[in-house]
């Protein structure tokens, strides 16, 4: 029934893969036993090859759990040595990571954030530990994704414990340096757009922790009078924002891979009809989930390239312009 709704096995598997990735990265949960059971059942229906990428994704989660444990143990051993005080000073924030094999995961939602120095320092320390453990491998952090456990101690002695995104954590972190910030000032230190910042600040405003003193100027409210369970409310707000790129963005990225093949074909063969391009793509570029492209979809994509003056279409064949735009 679900396959009929999605139209094909490939579309269903691609959608399941995106949902699986989103569940893992939104909840940051290393317990994948339930997901493994679901995957084994789907394998019975769709076969091993269709779900290989999902299997790699779940393996990444299990490997990440082991890596975090190993790095934590090594830091604990360092803390018991003679340099315990130095180790504590070097690593004020504990970090757990989800180490993902990017080529096997759907495209991530893009975002930009310059983390506060202490937060970035904790990630850099983790990277060094990872490089020591893995030798020739390193980490490329998606700093806007993940969860941060935050403890806020207010002026009235009340302590609030929350689970928020790195972006929300970075914003509230800066308010411990000074209690008043303009949106432009925060934009400068976080390297985020003012529009994105206002949207994120709104969460802290809605729970009475930040107040807009004047247009685009915010102050910290140090005596919280709210009654809501902030930990759950923050998470509910963030669940609405997927960790993955939109389906349209993912498809656009896949079509850019198709374009690189088409460009190579036409560079070598000069001109080709649609049918020949499609058959060659099926042989060389449409092997994995998400890479399928119907002839009609390919026609629309190539016609778009013609409008962008990156292709010429004449007498039933496509060719590259002599001076590409």
The CATH number of the domain where 273 resides is what?
1.10.10.10
Point out the domain boundary residue: 217, 243, 269.
243
Output the six-digit token pair for 224. 């919280």
Position 234 scores a pLDDT of: 47
DSSP 128: H
Q: Cα 57–11–243 angle (5° rounding)? A: 45
Regarding whether 256 and 201 lie in a shared domain, the answer is no
Position 288 scores a pLDDT of: 52
Q: Tokens 């600040």 belong to which residue?
A: 201
Point out the domain boundary residue: 106, 121, 142.
106
Taking the model in full, what pTM does it have?
0.68
Regarding whether 144 and 234 lie in a shared domain, the answer is yes
Can you tell me the distance from the alpha carbon of 181 to that of 40, in angstroms, rounded to the nearest whole number?
51
Q: What angle, rounded to 10 degrees, do the helices at 247-269 and 274-284 form?
A: 110
Q: What angle, rounded to 10 degrees, do the helices at 117-134 and 166-174 form?
A: 140
Q: Tokens 């092997």 belong to which residue?
A: 287
Regarding whether 265 and 237 lie in a shared domain, the answer is no
Q: What angle, rounded to 10 degrees, do the helices at 33-46 and 52-79 form?
A: 160
Are the C-beta atoms of residues 286 and 295 closer than 8 Å to each other?
no
Domain hosting 157: range is: 109-243
What is the phi-psi region of residue 63: left when phi exceeds 0, alpha when psi lies from -120 to 50, beta otherwise?
A: alpha
Point out the domain boundary residue: 185, 214, 243.
243
Regarding whether 304 and 179 lie in a shared domain, the answer is no
pLDDT tens, the chain, 325 aa long: 455 555 567 778 888 888 888 888 877 777 788 889 989 988 888 888 878 889 999 999 999 999 999 999 888 887 776 455 554 455 568 899 999 988 888 888 778 899 999 999 999 999 999 999 988 889 999 988 888 998 888 777 778 888 888 999 999 999 988 989 999 999 999 999 888 899 899 889 887 889 999 888 999 887 766 545 554 444 444 444 555 555 565 667 677 778 888 888 888 888 899 999 988 888 776 655 555 678 888 888 899 899 888 999 999 999 998 864 4
Residue 155 within any structural domain of the chain: yes
CATH number at residue 135: 3.30.230.130
Q: Cα 307 to chain center, whole Å?
A: 32
Position 225 scores a pLDDT of: 62
């Amino acid at each position: 029934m679900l396959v009929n709704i999605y139209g094909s096995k490939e579309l269903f598997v691609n959608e399941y893969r995106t949902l699986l990735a989103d569940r893992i990265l939104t909840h940051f949960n290393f317990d994948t036993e339930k997901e493994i059971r679901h995957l084994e059942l789907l394998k019975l229906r769709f076969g091993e090859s269709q779900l290989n990428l999902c299997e790699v994704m779940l393996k990444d989660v299990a490997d990440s759990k082991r890596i975090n444990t190993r790095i934590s143990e090594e830091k604990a051993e360092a803390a018991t040595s003679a340099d315990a005080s130095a180790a504590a000073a070097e690593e004020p924030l504990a970090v757990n990571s989800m180490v993902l094999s990017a080529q096997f995961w759907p495209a991530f939602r893009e975002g930009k954030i310059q983390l506060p120095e202490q937060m970035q320092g904790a990630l850099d320390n983790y990277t060094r530990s990872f490089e020591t453990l893995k030798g020739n491998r390193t980490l490329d952090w998606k700093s806007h994704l993940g969860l941060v456990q935050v403890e806020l101690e207010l002026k009235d002695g009340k302590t609030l414990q929350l689970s928020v995104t790195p972006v929300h954590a970075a914003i509230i972190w800066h308010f411990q340096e000074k209690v008043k910030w303009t949106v432009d000032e925060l934009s400068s230190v976080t390297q985020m757009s003012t529009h994105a910042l206002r949207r994120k600040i709104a969460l802290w405003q809605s729970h009475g922790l930040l107040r807009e003193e004047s247009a685009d100027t915010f102050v910290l409210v140090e005596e919280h009078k709210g009654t809501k369970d902030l930990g759950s409310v923050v998470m509910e707000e963030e669940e609405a924002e997927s960790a993955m790129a939109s389906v349209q963005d993912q498809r656009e990225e896949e079509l850019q891979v198709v374009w690189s093949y088409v460009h190579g074909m036409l560079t070598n063969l000069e001109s080709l009809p649609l049918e020949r391009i499609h058959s060659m793509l099926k042989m060389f570029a449409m092997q994995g989930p998400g890479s399928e492209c119907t002839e009609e979809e390919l026609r629309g994509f190539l016609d778009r390239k013609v409008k962008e003056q990156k292709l010429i279409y004449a007498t039933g064949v496509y060719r590259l312009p002599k001076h590409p735009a």
